[in-house]
Amino acid sequence: MRSLSAATCRREKESYHAEGIGMAQNHGVVFLGQNKVEVQSIDFPKMQNPAGKKINHGVILKIVATNICGSDQHMVRGRTTAPTGMVLGHEITGEIIEAGSDVEYLKVGDLVTVPFNVACGRCRTCREQQTGVCLNVNPGRAGGAYGYVDMGGWVGGQAEYVMVPYADFNLIKFPDKHQAMEKIRDLTMLSDILPTGFHGAVSAGVGVGSIVYIAGAGPVGLAAAASAQILGAALVMIGDMNADRLKHAKKVGFTPIDLTKSDNLGDLIEAVVGKPEVDAAVDAVGFEARAQGKKGEEAPATVLNSLMSIVRAAGGIGIPGLYVTEDPGSKDEAAKQGNLKMRFGLGWAKSHRFYTGQTPVLKYNRQLMQAILHDRLPIAKIVNATVIPLSDAAAGYKEFDSGVAKKFVLDPHGLLSKAG
């Protein structure tokens, strides 16, 4: 596979600046309203924060791979307060073509993975490895991310080029560029879904011999299932109502649970393990959850309530699935304000541990990178990574929304399609 040399990167960077940054070419996936995205010409990235302040701690990347995420779909479906005109995308892998004067440990030509969290590395939460809730990158709330609603206004990375701030802290350089490009379909999952799934499994307390249930057989659910296995789980069950996703989950080594077969999750679990109970569970669905059974009507708290019913006393529930503070598209009036009809008393009575919030990617992705590079975690195969050109992003969003068992990886510069 072709990768850029440092000299090539410098030449490209010089050509981009020859007529001024404003004249440089860049294209990105832009949110235009409910169920509508489009690849448009966008500004070439500048070394400045969303408020327009010049920064020197960032880098500009030529994007090698950028993925469509289920979290993006929440916005595109109109289930958040995302404004039109946003450039989407928070799963980014790229090559540095320009580095700010304050960047000390990275250089032009480095191939890097970008955690979806924007984090300063200096505040209390960053120092505690809780980079999902950095206190300095978003004036509206704790936590920042690229191309996501209410997460600080940082421009998204479903594009040809993007600026990444606080580069020395946020970025992880792949040690061998050639080796990394050979495994780039796996390594592109480090920016979000793999550490997110891993975080769900770890925070649920998965360990050697655990009996585990994963709610949701989408990419994050599959990543959580793969993580449970690498952590030593004895049995990993994964539940969904989508037959294609369940078929794929079984193909890659997990025990499928068809949620259309019963409205009682405990009965389905008992049919597999002999009792309606597991040691740990992960919610990889989030707020657009649907009730079990053949009707499958939307019920935002149904996954959380069902997990409390099956997790053993003193067990854990990891919740990497997204829950929002406002859901304008919900049919449930309470859910529109972020309120859920949750049976919390059951979880309290069983002494459950709940772990919520944005995944602190930096806490995990170096270790997960090593697992990939040493052939312990074939995550691209597990999530069925499917490469498409950036120009086909709108079609990718539409197909992903239909529930196909695929993880779409955008290839802005054709580097992935040239793989040998």
368 contact partners, CB below 8 Å, separation of at least 6: 190, 194, 195, 198, 377
Whether residues 337 and 388 fall in one domain = no
Whether residues 241 and 345 fall in one domain = yes
419 within some domain: no
Whether residues 386 and 350 fall in one domain = no
pLDDT tens-place string over residues 180-237: 999 999 999 999 999 999 999 999 999 999 999 999 999 999 999 999 999 999 999 9
pLDDT of residue 12: 53
Whether residues 55 and 102 fall in one domain = yes
Whether residues 71 and 37 fall in one domain = yes
Beta bridge partners of 60: 98, 163
Whether residues 141 and 85 fall in one domain = yes
CB 68 within 8 A of CB 410: yes
Q: How far is CA 143 from the centre of its chain?
A: 15
420 within some domain: no
> CA–CA separation, 403 vs 195, rounded Å?
22
> CA–CA separation, 147 vs 48, rounded Å?
15
Handedness of CA 43, 86, 365, 3 (dihedral sign): negative
416 within some domain: no
Mark which of 333, 355, 377 sits at the end of a domain: 355
Whether residues 332 and 281 fall in one domain = yes
Side-chain-side CA neighbours of residue 114 (13 Å): 33
Beta bridge partners of 99: 59
404 contact partners, CB below 8 Å, separation of at least 6: 244
Mark which of 340, 355, 370 sits at the end of a domain: 355
Whether residues 168 and 307 fall in one domain = no
Angle at 171 between CA 141 and CA 173, to 5 degrees: 165
Number of domains the chain is built from: 2
Per residue in 17-26, is it b (16+ CB within 10 Å) or e — as a string?
Answer: eeeeeeebeb
37 within some domain: yes
CB 221 within 8 A of CB 198: no
pLDDT of residue 333: 86
Q: What are phi and psi of 328, to 5 degrees?
A: -65, -20
86 within some domain: yes
Segment-wise mean pLDDT, segments of 10 residues, the chain, 420 residues: 46 48 79 97 98 98 97 92 96 98 98 98 98 98 96 98 98 97 98 98 98 97 98 98 97 97 97 98 92 78 96 98 87 87 96 97 98 98 98 97 97 83
Whether residues 261 and 208 fall in one domain = yes
Whether residues 117 and 51 fall in one domain = yes
418 within some domain: no
pLDDT of residue 21: 44
Can you give the pTM of this predicted structure?
Answer: 0.93
Whether residues 146 and 52 fall in one domain = yes
Mark which of 355, 375, 391 sits at the end of a domain: 355
Which domain CATH number covers 260?
A: 3.40.50.720
417 within some domain: no
Domain of residue 56, residue span: 6-192+362-411
Which domain CATH number covers 182?
A: 3.90.180.10
325 within some domain: yes
pLDDT of residue 293: 75
194 contact partners, CB below 8 Å, separation of at least 6: 223, 226, 227, 365, 368, 377, 379
Whether residues 176 and 216 fall in one domain = no
